[in-house]
Amino acid sequence: MYSHKISCKKEKLVEIRGFVHDVLKQMKLPDLEVNTMVLAVDEVCANLIIHSHQCNPKDHLELRITPSSKTVTFEIVDYGMGFNIDKYEEPKLHDIVKSRRKGGIGLMLVRRIMDKVEYIKGSNHNIYRLSKNL
């Protein structure tokens, strides 16, 4: 298992991406696949940093990556108010375009990229688990 901890600043997203990229490259996965998994993790972390932690640098996210021969599992752990990513209702792409909104498609990407998206509520922490079959 690989793990990395960052403070809740948007500027730290590049660090998270670098960490995920380096772990996945060690597994000799194709570039396209590496990039989409990096993207999915980036999207969940960006959502948590912005919406759950209001970019408070005193808060932290921990990312764990567990590779196996058949899957890669990413767990993003945070403390505080959780967000049930699994129950999130997708907006329609057409409605987003019509309303000129700039946000709202991050979690749609995560669902398209990953095979399983789970939210686990702990006693004082939350786990956002993303699994990708290889």
What is the residue type of 57? Answer: P
Residue type, 89: E
Footprint (CB under 8 A) of another protein, residues 92-131: 93, 96-98, 100-106, 108-109, 112-113
Tokens 């990413």 label which residue? Answer: 74
Mark residue 22 as left, alpha or beta (left: phi above 0; alpha: psi -120 to 50; beta: remaining): alpha
Shortest separation between residue 124's beta carbon and another protein, angstroms: 26
Q: Which two tokens stand for residue 106?
A: 């991050």
Work out how close the CB of 42 gets to another protein at its nearest, in angstroms, rounded to a whole number. Answer: 5
Q: What does the binding site for another protein look like in residue numbers (CB under 8 A)?
A: 10-11, 13-14, 17, 31-32, 35-36, 38-39, 42-43, 46, 49-50, 93, 96-98, 100-106, 108-109, 112-113
